């Protein structure tokens, strides 16, 4: 019974993905944590500590199965501030983002070791600008990643436990942009889609109970390089033009692409303070090693519009997030939670591409747990993600190399990977999860 | 502690509530504003660019995407509520337009929709119009009576009442009482000259007054009259003037150069015999190189030969992009004839009269003539040498004679006389040899002349046919470097005048010349390139001169920028260029 429900949930979830921390990180891997300012490394553990801090799991004195997810209603807005006097604005029509997670933690009673496993979606991105004025750069992107993580945690002493898991990751990417060709079907388009190869990484953590009232935790999740090999391309073009775009005699439907995208490592450090049995306050700082992401490059098996490689710089920088959260256990049934966090964007000036229209964000969170039966708890979370307004000019793009002006005299055809203008993003995120404790 | 947590929770909840109520959109910070401009009667004064011509024709669809119409739409956001009336063709009507029907082996197949029956129906009853863009209107004719302009311009005819014959284009512009104008005129004062390869010379076709280059004096005179009268009618008028763009940046002037350069099937490598034969044909046909010689073809690389100057010119030379030559778009259909009929070289197909064979005796005799001429000049040198020697000897004898005449000493006299006898003997010998040489020279000269005459005799019956078979590219297919120079010089003078007028009247200025150079280099609009490449560039329509709707939208934005720069405080929002179509591709 249980299994079939989980299975159904899983197949549904696989159809869709997610967004929402800065960059293309998601960070929604447990609604208890999400409601407390999206922190969890130093909290007393539950099954979702598989993601937040595998080292904490051994302190669980219960077994637990948790399934949950989030609904992300995200919008990016754009104003063409780089054209003097422009009133042009655009808004994304992003499909609903639905990151999800599934965790289990189990051990025989009294063991100092906990066995656990998780299935979750730490990175993802879906942005759909449609036929906006930057359609030649990007119309739509869908990026999804799935992590599976069998985990073991060991309580070394009554105060210290460590743990770690092996991550098996796979993912999927879809991109779509317009070509400068008008025909009866509208703008011609070029699209790519491909599944990333299975890759391995790890997630390790440590929890130190400094006293009855203070937890100190740290975790480190390794980077994984997502690689798509022989992905599919789709060109909606007038067929008569194919020899001009791809060369004479080329079967353009068979053109494939290779690409890679780093899913960066993250370090989390946190402290939790529990002045009494009802209250928890926690502070956490996270560093995501975004500097891994220097270039986005696509390599085609055969030249597309004369280019067999498309590459543009990203030059992301490592970014910090600082988070504060609190919870209050009112009674045996209800616990209320709230938090706030500031999330620094890894995207530097001149590199703000439409697929990740990213800004520094100040987010507020709230939620509650409802223990509606002896063994069952339901968690609800709500997050308001508020991106700061961010402006980027044509000159910023030139300076960054994300815009190269054409110069036929020197044989430079030029390209444009950013759309100058002002961007802003926001999202409402609702979370729901269900935990069974045994 | 409990209190603290309660406060914290309350703070977050309140914060969330506050954030939900604020607007997170990225929004325009500046509202459209007409500033000191009065957009209530916007009149577009101009030519085919203003009319919205595309693919060498007019259709309602093209007219609706003309930059004045786009601009008028954008101006609406500043509060302008009036009409912007255009002399629209009825839906489905066309004055005749090119269309891209297919790609065959990567080459575009362009066909044309013929003009429809009612395309040029007079629509003046729907006027007066705000868009007074008249395709083909040069500054030269803006002050000419409509009765005359109508004779050569059906686009003009359809816009204004047929009964009126005295009013000039300027009169019609004033009649509408414009408060705001865009003036896009001047290209037609050089374009027909340029696009016809200077076929009629800079004076143009004297019958129609077209195809020439308008003299800067006449240009300035008419343009000044127009501005004076507009300001006399309304001293508060605002607007934007455009300079005249160098037409050679458009694909009409560039695509074929590329085709010629890349055409691997051209007979570019000439052997010595071929070069000699072609030179004879051209010489027989009466053609000369610009330096007057008959050395038109050389051994080795040769682009096709082009006719320089006007269509009566017999001056030809090899096409040379390095000399600033532009092969025009009209040459494209002729390119296959380079192979089949030797266009640009000589047409030696269907040689039933054995014309080529008849050239062989001439070529042979030319060779003998050359060696004979060498011999003759050798003999001539020798002859002159002896003449010099004989003269010298005579001089010496004369000098001796004068000495003898004045000498009294008998002994000296004797020796002088002996010397004189010696000189006389020398002279005799020299004269004897000279006689032989002279005879040789005379014989050789006669032989040479005979040979030359013989060659002339052989040539004479071939001249007419040679003229027919020498087929340089007619001048109308190439704007040669000199002609392009005339166009540029005129444009420079027009533009310095227009720039000065914009400043003097406080009008905005759109530098169209700079615009076409920018497009020639290429720009990227939201990741979609826009440049001057034929068809794929998206800016120019199939005629290689008139912009596409996308091009028109880009131009409209340049006008909007010029309005912004003009200093009357107007902010007109630019248009989203990518919402407009470039060249329409077949399936």
Give residues with Cβ within 8 angstroms of B27, minimum separation 6.
A77, A79, A89
Nearest C-alpha neighbor of B486 from the set B222, B203, B220 = B203
* CA A361/CA A343 separation, integer angstroms: 5
pLDDT value for A378:
95
pLDDT value for A3:
37
The partner residue sitting opposite A134, judged by closest CB among B26, B526, B529, is B526
pLDDT of A255 > 90? The answer is: yes
B531 to chain A: which residues are within 8 Å by CB?
Answer: 406
* A408–B520 C-beta distance less than 8 A: yes
pLDDT value for B339:
78
pLDDT of A266 > 90? The answer is: yes
Which tokens in the block code for residue A157?
């002493």
Q: Which residues of chain B have pLDDT under 50?
A: none
pLDDT digits (tens, 9 = 90+) for A35-94: 999 999 999 999 999 999 999 999 999 999 999 999 988 888 999 998 888 899 999 988
pTM for the model: 0.87
pLDDT value for B332:
85
pLDDT value for B530:
93
B581 to chain A: which residues are within 8 Å by CB?
Answer: 182
pLDDT value for B512:
95
pLDDT value for A7:
37
Whether chain A has a CB inside 8 Å of the CB on B107: the answer is no
pLDDT value for A5:
37
Signed CA dihedral, B415, B416, B417, B420: sign only: positive
pLDDT value for A15:
33
Q: Classify residue A272 by burial, with Cβ atoms within 10 Å: 0-12, 13-18, 19+.
A: buried
For the B42-254+481-579 domain, the top CATH level (class) is: alpha beta
A117 within 8 A of A104, measured Cβ to Cβ: yes
* CA B571/CA B34 separation, integer angstroms: 6
User: B361-464 domain in CATH 1.10.3720.10?
Assistant: no
Domains observed in chain A = 2-437 (2.40.160.60)
pLDDT band of residue A10 (cuts 50, 70, 90) is very low
**Which residues 280-299 of B have a C-beta within 8 angstroms of A?**
none
Residue A325: which H helix or E strand, with range?
strand A319-329
DSSP-derived letter for residue B323 is G
The residue of A180, A238, A428 whose CB has the most chain B CBs within 10 angstroms, and thus the best one to mutate to test that interface, is A180
Find the closest chain A residue to B579 by CA distance.
Answer: A133
pLDDT value for B24:
67
Which tokens in the block code for residue B52?
């919205």
* A403–B25 C-beta distance less than 8 A: no
The partner residue sitting opposite A384, judged by closest CB among B6, B20, B586, is B20
pLDDT value for B405:
86
Find the closest chain A residue to B30 by CA distance.
Answer: A85
pLDDT band of residue A104 (cuts 50, 70, 90) is very high
pLDDT value for B587:
81
Nearest C-alpha neighbor of A310 from the set A373, A377, A258, A253 = A258
pLDDT of A285 > 90? The answer is: yes
Residue B457: which H helix or E strand, with range?
helix B410-459
* B106–A244 C-beta distance less than 8 A: yes
Nearest C-alpha neighbor of A133 from the set B4, B526, B428, B303 = B526
Compute the nearest-CA separation of B289 from chain A (Å): 32
pLDDT value for B12:
66
Residue A124: which H helix or E strand, with range?
strand A124-128
Please state the rounded mean pLDDT for residues A413-430. 89
Compute the nearest-CA separation of A161 from chain B (Å): 29
Signed CA dihedral, B565, B566, B571, B577: sign only: negative
pLDDT band of residue A1 (cuts 50, 70, 90) is very low
Q: How far is CA B437 from the centre of its chain?
A: 59
Sorted by where each begins, the domain ranges of chain B are: 42-254+481-579, 260-352+468-475, 361-464
Whether chain A has a CB inside 8 Å of the CB on B512: the answer is no
Q: Classify residue A81 by burial, with Cβ atoms within 10 Å: 0-12, 13-18, 19+.
A: buried
What ipTM, to 2 d.p.? 0.86
Give residues with Cβ within 8 angstroms of B384, minimum separation 6.
none
pLDDT band of residue A14 (cuts 50, 70, 90) is very low
Which tokens in the block code for residue B180?
């705001």
């Amino acid at each position: 019974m249980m299994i079939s429900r989980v299975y159904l949930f899983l197949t549904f979830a696989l159809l869709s993905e997610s967004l929402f921390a800065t960059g293309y990180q998601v960070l929604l891997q447990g609604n208890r944590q999400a409601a407390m300012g999206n922190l969890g490394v130093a909290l007393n553990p539950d099954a979702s500590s598989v993601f937040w801090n595998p080292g904490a799991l051994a302190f669980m004195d219960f077994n637990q199965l948790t399934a949950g997810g989030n609904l992300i209603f995200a919008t990016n807005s754009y104003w063409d501030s780089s054209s003097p006097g422009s009133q042009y604005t655009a808004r994304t029509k992003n499909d609903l983002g639905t990151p999800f997670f599934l965790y289990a933690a189990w051990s025989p009673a009294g063991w100092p070791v906990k066995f656990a496993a998780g299935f979750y979606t730490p990175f993802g991105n879906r942005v759909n600008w449609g036929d906006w004025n930057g359609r030649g750069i990007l119309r739509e992107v869908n990026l999804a990643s799935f992590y599976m993580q069998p985990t073991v945690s060991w309580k070394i002493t009554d105060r210290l436990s460590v743990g770690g898991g092996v991550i098996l990751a796979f993912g999927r990417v879809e991109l779509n942009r317009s070509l400068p060709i008008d025909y009866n079907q509208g703008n011609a388009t070029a699209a790519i889609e491909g599944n990333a190869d299975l890759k391995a990484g790890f997630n390790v953590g440590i929890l130190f109970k400094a006293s009855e009232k203070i937890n100190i935790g740290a975790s480190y999740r390794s980077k994984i390089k997502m690689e798509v090999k022989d992905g599919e391309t789709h060109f909606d073009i007038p067929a008569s033009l194919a020899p001009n775009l791809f060369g004479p005699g080329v079967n353009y439907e068979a053109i494939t692409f290779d690409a890679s995208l780093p899913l960066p490592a993250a370090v989390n450090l946190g402290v939790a303070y529990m002045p009494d049995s009802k209250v928890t306050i926690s502070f956490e700082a996270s560093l995501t090693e975004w500097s891994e992401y220097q270039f986005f490059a696509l390599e085609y098996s055969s030249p597309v519009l004369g280019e067999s490689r498309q590459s543009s710089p990203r030059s992301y920088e490592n970014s910090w997030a600082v988070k504060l959260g609190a919870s209050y256990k009112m009674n045996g049934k209800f616990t209320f939670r709230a938090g706030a966090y500031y999330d620094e964007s890894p995207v530097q000036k001149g590199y703000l591409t439409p697929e990740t229209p990213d800004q520094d964000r100040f987010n507020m969170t709230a939620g509650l747990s409802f223990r509606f039966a002896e063994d069952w708890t339901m968690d609800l979370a709500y997050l308001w993600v508020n991106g700061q307004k961010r402006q980027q000019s044509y000159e910023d793009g030139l300076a960054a190399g994300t815009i190269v002006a054409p110069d036929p005299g020197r044989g430079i055809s030029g390209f444009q990977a950013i759309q100058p203008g002002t961007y802003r993003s926001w999202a409402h995120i609702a979370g729901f999860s269900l935990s069974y404790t045994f | 502690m409990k209190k603290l947590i309660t406060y914290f929770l309350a703070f977050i909840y309140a914060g969330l509530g506050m954030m939900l109520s604020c607007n997170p959109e990225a929004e325009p910070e500046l509202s459209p504003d007409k500033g000191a401009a009065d957009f209530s009667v916007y009149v577009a004064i101009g030519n085919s660019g203003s009319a919205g011509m595309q693919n060498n024709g007019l259709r309602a669809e093209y007219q609706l995407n003309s930059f004045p119409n786009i601009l008028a739409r954008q101006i609406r956001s500043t509060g302008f509520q009036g009409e912007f009336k255009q002399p629209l063709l009825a839906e489905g009507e066309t004055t005749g337009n090119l269309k891209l029907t297919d790609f065959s082996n990567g080459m575009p197949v362009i066909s044309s929709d013929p003009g429809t029956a009612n395309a040029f129906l007079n629509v003046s009853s729907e006027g007066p119009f705000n868009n007074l863009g008249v395709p083909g209107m040069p500054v030269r004719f803006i002050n000419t009576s409509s009765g005359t302009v109508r004779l050569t311009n059906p686009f003009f005819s359809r816009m204004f009442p047929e009964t009126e014959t005295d009013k000039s284009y300027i009169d019609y512009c004033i009649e509408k009482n414009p408060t705001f104008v865009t003036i896009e005129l001047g290209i037609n004062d050089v374009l027909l000259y340029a696009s016809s390869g200077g076929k009629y010379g800079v004076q143009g076709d004297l019958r129609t007054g077209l195809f020439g280059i308008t003299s800067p004096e006449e240009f300035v005179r008419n343009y000044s009259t127009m501005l004076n009268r507009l300001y006399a009618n309304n001293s508060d008028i605002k607007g934007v003037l455009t300079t005249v763009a160098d037409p050679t940046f458009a694909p009409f002037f560039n695509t074929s150069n590329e085709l010629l350069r890349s055409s691997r099937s051209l007979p570019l490598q000439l052997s010595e015999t071929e070069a000699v034969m072609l030179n004879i044909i051209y010489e027989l046909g009466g053609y000369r190189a610009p330096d007057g010689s008959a050395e038109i073809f050389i051994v080795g690389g040769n682009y096709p030969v082009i006719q320089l100057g006007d269509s009566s010119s017999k001056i030809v030379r090899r096409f040379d992009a390095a000399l600033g030559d532009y092969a025009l778009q009209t040459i494209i259909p002729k390119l296959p004839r380079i192979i089949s009929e030797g266009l640009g070289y000589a047409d030696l197909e269907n040689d039933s009269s054995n014309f080529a064979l008849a050239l062989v005796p001439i070529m042979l005799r030319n060779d003998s003539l050359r060696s004979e001429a060498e011999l003759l000049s050798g003999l001539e040198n020798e002859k002159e040498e002896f003449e010099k020697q004989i003269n010298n000897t005579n001089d010496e004898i004369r000098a001796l004679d004068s000495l003898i005449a004045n000498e009294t000493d008998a002994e000296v006299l004797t020796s002088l006389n002996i010397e004189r006898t010696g000189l006389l003997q020398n002279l005799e010998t020299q004269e004897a040899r000279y006689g032989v040489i002279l005879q040789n020279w005379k014989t050789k000269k006669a032989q040479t002349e005979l040979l030359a005459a013989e060659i002339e005799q052989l040539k004479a019956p071939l001249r007419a046919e040679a003229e027919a078979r020498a087929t340089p590219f007619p001048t109308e297919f190439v704007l040669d470097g000199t002609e392009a120079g005339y166009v540029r010089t005129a444009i420079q003078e027009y533009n310095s005048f227009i720039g000065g007028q914009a400043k003097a009247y406080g009008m905005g200025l759109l530098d169209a010349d700079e615009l076409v150079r920018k497009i020639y280099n290429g720009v990227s609009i939201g990741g979609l390139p826009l440049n001057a490449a034929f068809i794929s560039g998206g800016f120019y329509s199939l005629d290689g001169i008139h912009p596409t709707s996308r091009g028109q939208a880009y131009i409209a934005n340049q006008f909007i920028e010029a309005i912004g720069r003009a200093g009357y405080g107007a902010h007109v929002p630019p248009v989203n260029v990518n919402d407009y179509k470039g060249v329409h591709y077949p399936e």
